[in-house]
């Protein structure tokens, strides 16, 4: 199955297999609440994507993971919310895709004074972070996506870092807004009408019961 992640970026994915669940259960047994994001990527994402050796943003990984669950597991997402009007319980039992909306990145694109590009190397952010440990990862990610600034080609991280350091606060904030409107984004929400007639929209930061089908029954 092919997923379109951006205007010129696609990934081929294949469903999880029996070993996936065993590996994830073993990971949970060994680490419990210390499971890292990279642990999850190593078991649930990397073995099932092609190519696996290029850069994927956090939002792209999230969308890939959601889609992998959708094509691998039939279990719905189950949750209970309160109606925002009458306070009665609303039981939610839906396919994971019904509560997720993906907005692809727009790279390459020129927006205002910046030409944005996708990052190619899987280790690009990590390598720069080693050389510039004092810089936030989020800033490194943003700056590595800049190909040109005011039509000036960017040839090194130090060059674009110097430019960013000398931006006014207003321009710096505008650059962040510019980056956010052109990067990929995953929205997680669900609309449901209560028996009282109120239409509720519930916004999620994390998907409830997402990993339950991969966990031992006693911890679900």
Pairing of strands 89-94, 100-103: unpaired
- pLDDT, tens digit, 9 for 90 and up, residues 161-185: 999 999 999 999 999 999 999 999 9
Percent over 70 (pLDDT), the chain: 99
How do residues 200-209 score in pLDDT, each as one tens digit?
999 999 999 9
E strand residue ranges, 41-159: 49-50, 77-82, 89-94, 100-103, 109-111, 114-116, 146-149, 152-153
- In DSSP terms, 103 is beta-bridged to 185
**Number of H-type helices and E-type strands within the chain:** 7, 12
φ/ψ of residue 152, rounded to 5 = -95, 120
Write out the two tokens for 97.
């895709």
Question: Could you tell me if residue 32 is left (phi over 0), alpha (psi between -120 and 50 degrees) or otherwise beta?
Answer: left
Q: H helices within 17-117, ranges in order?
A: 18-31, 37-40, 58-72
- The residue whose two tokens read 């994830």 is 24
The pLDDT confidence band at residue 216, using thresholds 50, 70 and 90, is: confident
pLDDT greater than 80 at residue 95: yes
pTM of this structure: 0.92
């Amino acid at each position: 199955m092919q997923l379109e992640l951006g205007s010129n970026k696609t990934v081929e994915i294949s469903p999880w297999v029996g070993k996936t669940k065993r590996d994830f259960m073993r990971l949970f047994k060994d680490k419990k609440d210390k499971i890292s994001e990279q642990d999850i990527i190593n078991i649930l994402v990397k073995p099932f994507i092609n190519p696996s050796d290029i850069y994927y943003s956090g939002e792209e990984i999230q969308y890939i993971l959601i889609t992998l669950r959708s094509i691998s597991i039939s279990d719905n997402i189950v949750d209970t919310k309160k109606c925002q009007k009458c306070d009665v319980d609303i039981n939610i039992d839906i396919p994971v895709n019904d509560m997720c909306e993906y907005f692809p990145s727009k790279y390459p694109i020129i927006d205002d004074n910046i030409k944005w590009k996708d990052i190619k190397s899987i280790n690009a952010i990590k390598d720069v972070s080693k050389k510039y440990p004092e810089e936030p990862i989020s800033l490194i990610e943003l700056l590595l996506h800049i190909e040109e600034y005011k039509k000036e080609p960017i040839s090194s991280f130090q060059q674009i870092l110097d430019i960013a350091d000398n931006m006014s606060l207003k321009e710096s904030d505008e650059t962040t807004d510019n980056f956010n409107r052109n990067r990929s984004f995953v929205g997680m929400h669900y609309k449901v009408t209560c028996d009282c007639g109120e239409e509720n929209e519930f916004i999620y930061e994390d998907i409830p019961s997402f990993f339950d089908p991969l966990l031992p029954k006693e911890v679900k």
